[in-house]
C-alpha cells in the first residue's frame, strides 16, 4: 500500500518514469501521496534537522522580498533579502548559486532605492561567484557584469564601468 501511495510502483509510465495524463493517479492517491511523503520526511527526521526549515524560511523571505521589490518598496525588500542571505550563508557553502543570486538581488534593491554605496560591495561580491559557476559565456555572468557596470556608471566612475559593460556585451 505504501508503495502505491508514494507512486513507486503504480502510476508512472514504466518507459519514461514520468507522469502522463494516462498514468496520473486518480482518486485518493492524489491526496494521500503528498501527505505520505510529508509523514515520511518528518518521521525519518529529514525536516527535524533544521536545514530544510531554514532553507524554507529563506525561500519564504526571498519570495516576500521579490514581492516588496516589485511593489516599489526597495528598502523593505533589501531588509528581507538581507535576512534570507544570512540564513542561506549559515546553511549552504559560500559559493552556492543561491547565495550569488541573493547577493545580486540585495545589491539591486539598494541600487533601485537610490542607496548606491552599499550596493557596490554586494555586486562586486556576486561577480566572482558567477565566474566560478560557469567561467565561459554565461548569461548570468553577463548580467552580473552589466549590473556592476551600470552601478559604477551611476556612481560617476566610467573607467571602471566600461570594461565590465564591454565584457558583458562580448558574452
Domain-wise residue ranges, the chain:
2-43, 51-170
The pLDDT value recorded for residue 101 is 94
What is residue 3's predicted lDDT score, i.e. its pLDDT? 40
Per-residue pLDDT in tens (0 to 9) along the chain, 171 residues: 444 444 444 444 444 445 455 555 555 455 555 544 444 444 444 444 555 688 889 999 999 999 999 999 999 999 999 999 999 999 889 888 899 999 999 999 999 999 999 999 999 999 999 988 876 668 899 999 999 999 999 999 999 999 999 999 987
Position 82 scores a pLDDT of: 96
Tell me the C-alpha to C-alpha distance, in Å, between residue 23 and each of 6, 10, 14, 17, 37.
14, 8, 9, 10, 19
pLDDT at 133: 84
Whose grid coordinates read 507512486? 7
pLDDT, position 136:
64
Report the predicted TM-score, pTM, of the whole model to 2 decimal places: 0.68
The residue count for the chain: 171
Give residue 48's pLDDT: 45
Class of 51-170 in CATH: mainly alpha
Give the pLDDT confidence score for residue 39 in this predicted structure.
Answer: 46
Check if the beta carbon of residue 103 is closer than 8 Å to that of residue 66. Answer: no
Q: Is 68 helix (H, G, I), strand (E, B) or coil?
A: helix
Amino acid at each position: 500500500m505504501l508503495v502505491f501511495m508514494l507512486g513507486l510502483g503504480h502510476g508512472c509510465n514504466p518507459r519514461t518514469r514520468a507522469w502522463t495524463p494516462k498514468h496520473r493517479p486518480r482518486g485518493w492517491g492524489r491526496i494521500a501521496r503528498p501527505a505520505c511523503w510529508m509523514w515520511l520526511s518528518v518521521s525519518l527526521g529529514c525536516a527535524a534537522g533544521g536545514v530544510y526549515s531554514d532553507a524554507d524560511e529563506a525561500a519564504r523571505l526571498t519570495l516576500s522580498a521579490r514581492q516588496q521589490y516589485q511593489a516599489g518598496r526597495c528598502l523593505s525588500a533589501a531588509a528581507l533579502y538581507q535576512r534570507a542571505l544570512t540564513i542561506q550563508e549559515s546553511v549552504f557553502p559560500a559559493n552556492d548559486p543561491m547565495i550569488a543570486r541573493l547577493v545580486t538581488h540585495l545589491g539591486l534593491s539598494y541600487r533601485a532605492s537610490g542607496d548606491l554605496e552599499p550596493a557596490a560591495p554586494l555586486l562586486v561580491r556576486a561577480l566572482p561567484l558567477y565566474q566560478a559557476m560557469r567561467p565561459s559565456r554565461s548569461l548570468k555572468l553577463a548580467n552580473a557584469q552589466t549590473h556592476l557596470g551600470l552601478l559604477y556608471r551611476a556612481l560617476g566612475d566610467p573607467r571602471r564601468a566600461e570594461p565590465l559593460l564591454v565584457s558583458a556585451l562580448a558574452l
